[in-house]
Amino acid sequence: MNDVIEFAYAPAVVFVPPNGQRTGRKGQWFFFAVSLAMLAIVLTGFSSTFYLKGIVVSRAPALPLEGYLILHGCVMTAWYLLFSVQTLFVAIGHKAHHPRLGVVGVVLAAAVVLTGGYVSLAFPAHLAELGVPNAEVFEQDLGTALANMVMLGWFSGFVTAAVLLRRRRAWHGRLMFWSFFITISPAFANGAGNGARLLGPLMETYLPGWPAVPILFAAAWIGLLIFDWRTQKHVLPATLVCPALLIAAVFTILGAVNAFRTPELLEFFLRVV
């Protein structure tokens, strides 16, 4: 019984140093700043398709908002707000609040996977219902749906590992950090079905050829390295291993898209929803 209670109150996002090491509050503002940046990316990227649909308009028409899309958007918004709240608590020294939000983080992570998985699975059929030719869905959107599903698998792995390693705070915090990062790439999506998302067209217009997500990944990693050096005077193993896992995730996503994007898979997607 005690083990169950301890798990339920384990912190979902804790960016604190390993036992016996102090960072002070100044360094912890780094994580809060990153959380605000991720939240800003999500709010901006989906402004024309979700948050300010009909007010902010991108170059491509936004798809109709079905109920399951609204639910997924609310879940993802809550997920990123949790990141900001948790990192703010650490930055201002209110670390006791983390355990109370632990169960919320676990439930939200499960909701991210369930709603995100359904959105990905339903994406090709939703486009087909709107009159997008199957050939166009196959060429441009089936790969997106497949990539998102594989990404959610890695997301689940990061969050699960973070929960299992919740007593090893450096590992827990960085695994959670990258679990949030891995979900921001859809905010930059472009092309048929998702070209209405604001950041993709903006990047193409003003920074053509600049890969936004890899640049953000490099900036986040460098930021963590600097944070470690300033607060610990050395780089923590978790800071090196977790981004390497994220790079492995990218290669598995690309491999899955190349290997499994077939007409048979499209037919399965169109029938299953």
Q: Tokens for 203, please give them.
A: 């990047």
Query: What backbone phi and psi angles, to 5 degrees, belong to 53?
Result: -60, 130
Mean pLDDT, residues 225-234 taken together: 89
What is the distance between the alpha carbons of residues 56 and 45, in angstroms, rounded to a whole number?
11
Question: Which runs of consecutive H residues, i.e. helices, occur in 165-198?
Answer: 169-181
* Position 209 pLDDT exceeds 60: yes
Q: What is the pLDDT of residues 115-129, one digit of tens each?
A: 999 999 998 888 888
Total residues belonging to the chain:
273
Residue 184: name the closest of 205, 206, 155 by CA. Answer: 155
Name the band, by pLDDT with cuts 50, 70 and 90, for residue 4: very low
Q: What is the pLDDT of residues 153-177, one digit of tens each?
A: 999 999 999 989 988 888 988 999 9
DSSP 34-59: HHHHHHHHHHHHTIIIIITBTTB--S
What pLDDT does 13 receive?
Answer: 41
What is the distance between the alpha carbons of residues 112 and 126, in angstroms, rounded to a whole number?
20
Alpha-carbon torsion angle 27, 109, 100, 165, nearest 10: -60
Q: What's the one-letter identity of residue 224?
A: L
Q: Tokens for 162, please give them.
A: 């973070």
Query: What backbone phi and psi angles, to 5 degrees, belong to 64?
Result: -60, 145
* Position 15 pLDDT exceeds 60: no
State the average pLDDT for the chain: 81
Residue owning tokens 């005690």: 2
Mean pLDDT, residues 186-190 taken together: 78
What is the distance between the alpha carbons of residues 47 and 25, in angstroms, rounded to a whole number?
33
Name the band, by pLDDT with cuts 50, 70 and 90, for residue 36: very high
